[in-house]
Amino acid sequence: MTLANQRAGEGGMALLLVLASIIILALIVGGLWEASAPGWEESTMRRAEYQAGILAESGLVVAMHPEVERGDVALVHQFDANRGYEVKIASEGGRIPVNSLTDAAWRDATSELFVSWGLDAASASRATDSLADWIDEDEEALSNGAENAYYAGFDHPEYPPNEPFTSIEQMLLAAGMDVVAKAQPLWRDYFTIYSDGLVDLNAATWELVSAITGATYDSALNFVSVRAGDDGVEGTADDYLFEDVGEVQALLGITDTEWTEISGRVSLIEGVRRIESTGRIGEFEETRVILSREAGDEFTVLARFRY
């Protein structure tokens, strides 16, 4: 082999080594990209969620100002096309105080609510009585309820605790509530553990207004429509808040006797305020909620959570 041929062979080998190195490097870089891309995407998502949370907190600060009321323009703010917050101020009293279900009248109203969602009377009573058995102090089940013997059969001898609910999610553990949740996925929005024990008719849904007062569905729908004002949207500046009991009775078709029977369970005054602030960064949203009681210019925070 001549010297020229030897050098040519060495040059070809070197070129092959370079090409092989490039291919290997490309594979390594590609692998690193595939491995790190989800991490970068997750990091971007976490930053967006964090920033959305900061915007939600900003909305809460605005809403907690004593001069800001529902429908105030300050409750909605758009910094740009991708960033902003929206705050809704409502009454927590627009929900059933679930820890009051040991009272038969509250159970009747709750059963009527479940029926309005499409449950038959037996299923509605099963869930309602089981909720009451969950919080009452005895071990004797109501006619359609469930006490320890029922839950022990499902390897849960610790249920029911015979104590008040400490979270709305606990309600799902009560017998029959799975049927309720299937019929109405938004059932959580109809119950509370924080209100003053009365249903605020200026905040309750039409189903609850009908269930608690005995008014027809049409009357309850009309009542809520009037309450929403000309724009038909609740929580805005033109909402009509009822103050006169006679006006409420007239719209709902309730007699004086009927009102007397329910007056101990309803109110036209906001007891506990519910402030929901949602921050948005692009497609990411974070919601913060504060439940508070107002006394003059001061707020007492009862609960704070996120979802």
pLDDT in tens, 81-114: 899 999 999 899 999 999 999 999 999 999 999 9
Residue 64 lies in a domain: yes
Provide the residue range defining the domain that includes 84. Answer: 43-92+273-306
Contacts of 212 (CB under 8 A, 6+ apart): 109, 199, 201, 204, 262, 265, 266
On whether both 219 and 286 belong to a single domain, the answer is no
SS3 284: strand
CB 55 within 8 A of CB 83: yes
Contact criterion met (CB below 8 Å) for 111 and 122: no
Q: What is the pLDDT of residue 70?
A: 81
Are 154 and 177 members of one domain? yes
**Segments of the chain with pLDDT less than 50:** 3-6, 8, 22, 24, 27-29, 32-33, 35-36, 40
Q: Positive or negative CA dihedral for 100, 101, 102, 107? A: positive
Residue 118, C-beta contacts closer than 8 angstroms, at least 6 positions apart:
183
Q: Do 195 and 271 form a contact (C-beta atoms < 8 A)?
A: yes
| pLDDT score at 92 | 93
- Any domain includes 117: yes
- Residue 3 in 3-state DSSP? helix
Please give the Cα distance from 192 to 110 (Å, whole number). 13
**pLDDT tens track for 34-49:** 544 555 455 777 888 8
Q: Are residues 56 and 76 in the same domain?
A: yes
Number of domains comprising the chain = 3
Tokens of 151: 């839950």
Q: What's the distance, CA 126 to chain centroid?
A: 24
> Can you state the angle between helices 121-135 and 104-116, rounded to 10 degrees?
140
